[in-house]
Amino acid sequence: MCGIVGYIGSKDCVPLLINSLKRLEYRGYDSAGLGVISNGESQVIKRKGKVSVLEKDLDQITLKQPNLGIAHTRWATHGVPNEVNAHPHFNTDKSLFVIHNGIIENYLTIRKGLQSLGYDFITDTDSEVIPQLIDSFLKKGYALVKAVHLALSKIEGTYGLAIVYANEPDKLIAARKGSPLVIGVGNNENFVASDVSAIIAHTKHVVYLEDGEIAEIYKDKFYTRTLDEEIIDKEVHKITMTLDEIDKGGYDHFMLKEIMEQPLSVCNSMRGRLIADKGTSKLGGLEAVEDKLVQSKRIVLSACGTSWHAALAGEYMLEQHTRIQTEVEYASEFRYRNPIISPDDVMFFISQSGETADTLAALREAKIRGALVLGICNVVGSSIPRETHAGVYTHAGPEIGVASTKAFTSQLVILALITLNLARKRNMSLIDGKNIVKEMDLLPKKIEQILKLNEQIEEIAEEFKDAENFLYLGRGYNFPVALEGALKLKEISYIHAEGYPAAEMKHGPIALIEEKLPSIFIAPQDSTYEKIITNIQEVKARKGRVIAIASESDKNIDSLVDFSIKIPETIRMLMPILSVIPLQLLAYHIAVKKGLNVDQPRNLAKSVTVE
């Protein structure tokens, strides 16, 4: 979940590392640090807070033109955020620097062993054992690469590591187990990073490290080995991401930019995949497993957070239109309850980053049990696409804001495409298929209509920015939207919010209703509309305030609620793609009006790569 970047070449690496850290800050922002080496001398500087705090003190670096260095922006797991616990960590004489993303599960045992050898520890982190353990092997006369191999053989847990050593200033070591790392291949310079966004300003060519691999990186070459020290030939990939895609593009925040990009991101998710004359979809990434998918008796969707909400909507789509039994699993709970999985099952794993630790762990468990494992991911080349049998990319483009927006709607689009494809091969008529294709094709324009309501939604946000609690209610397809709307508000405004099936309101939450509690109803004119209206009246009878997300043709609801946000109509399975967007904007504007950092909310980071 932390940001890692390293450089070896001929340039002064300090400004390069700082600029790269800024692009990684969405991965963690409670502290930052860098360690650099020049002519056999080393220097480290660390600060609590954001990268900008570190940047202010760079004049304290006295080394001239350091051309080897590593840098880190932290999301704390072990040890509170402070300067001491920030990375890089180092050995006693500060000749060896290590930055780490992950968790060392046996660090206490290693720490006790090293203390018995005379090593002192100054931090509260698990990470500090890594440089000290490597140092213990260096003191026995081993070269750096061998010392790293020996140290990793003693470590249990997960790691993405970048390591430099003043006594061997011609190399940078990287290692991966459960935490993403890429090598950037440049011209007489090379890089390592936890995310390609950190290095796209310098190279478009990358090598993805796999679990259990160690890279020995020089400025003009690199070698990768297994933990057993066998050389591995690695393929160099060309990335298509551009700098413009990860800039704010004139918006105040990445989150607002990404909300506003949804007409394009939804269009890109569908591009080339809808076949209008046949009323179906084409998903090249699933063609190799198409027969098993069509014949499946049980589909399981597994994910975490926002992706889990998309999966829940996907369950409704698949069961309604394909009549295949579908279940949704929290990936974080999947391994811990001895799940019933058979070789006849199909499992989809959904993740924006493709690196979500819990989702990856669930994937691996399902694979061991013989299921067909498939992925729905946004980041090309990430771990989930590489470990699944097949899958589909969402093509939503980079999402930098921690609170997911366009990734969610793109995941819903992909689940709709999968549903359409399977349903047409099973039991759906050509007429119904063509209708779905037509409605999907209209989504970008309808999203544009909703985004024009931004000022109206901002006015509603002004009205409710001081509320301490919110209740989000929806039925059917819009229950997952209620969950997602509540999550967005919690994530960035720190207001307590609950998402509930509207029918469940009378089974407990109605006790909360009073004048100070706003309730948000997702109330399109679908088959559940009359029931939703009844729920609204129950809230109003108890003096609750109501905001409704309603169909644009609904003339009756205005007299029943305090505020209504009218959105275009579509078929039931696609309504969550439209109804969630006003909730994204509402959460955004409330957080901004509270003076909060919507792109970097407290305690959160974009990609959860540790359990």
Q: How far apart are CA 484 and CA 477, in angstroms?
A: 12
> C-alpha angle with apex 455: 449 to 458, nearest 5 degrees?
120
Residue with tokens 């699933």, as numbered in its chain: 286
Of the candidates 171, 177, 566, 606, the residue annotated as catalytic is 606
Number of Cβ within 10 Å of residue 298's Cβ equals: 16
Q: Is 145 helix (H, G, I), strand (E, B) or coil?
A: helix
Q: Is residue 400 a contact partner of residue 597, using CB atoms and an 8 Å limit?
A: no
Query: Distances in Å between the alpha carbon of 496 and those of 357, 403, 488, 492, 538?
Result: 26, 16, 11, 11, 22
Helix or strand run (H / E) with residue 328: strand 325-330
Distance CA 151, CA 91 (A): 14
Which of 434, 503, 439, 437 lies closest to 474, judged by CA? 503
Q: Are 582 and 455 a contacting pair, CB within 8 Å?
A: no
Q: Give CA–CA dist 216/174, Å, rounded.
A: 7
- Is 425 among the catalytic positions? no
Mutual angle of helices 262-270 and 406-426, in 10-degree steps:
30
Looking at 2, 13, 304, 377, which residue is catalytic? 2
- For residue 384, give both structure tokens: 């989930």
Structure-block tokens of residue 577: 């793609």
Closest alpha carbon to 568 in 255, 263, 259: 263
| Phi-psi map region of 272: left, alpha, beta (phi>0 left; psi -120 to 50 alpha) | left
DSSP codes, 70-127: EEEEE--SSS-SSTTTSSPEE-TTS-EEEEEES-BTTHHHHHHHHHHTT----SS-ST
Conformational region of residue 17, where left means phi above 0, alpha means psi within -120 to 50, and beta covers everything else: alpha
What angle, rounded to 10 degrees, do the helices at 575-593 and 454-464 form? 50
Do the beta carbons of residue 523 and residue 556 sit within 8 Å? no
Per the CB < 8 A criterion, the answer to whether 313 and 576 are in contact is yes
606 is catalytic: yes
* Token pair in block for residue 450: 């909703």
**What single letter denotes the amino acid at residue 121?**
F
3-state secondary structure 534-581: HHHHHHHCCCCEEEEEEECCCCCHHHCCCEEEEECCCCHHHHHHHHHH
Nearest to residue 307, comparing CAs of 417, 180, 416, 411? 411
Strands 469-474 and 518-523 come out as parallel
Tokens of 277: 């004359």
Catalytic annotation, residues = 2, 606
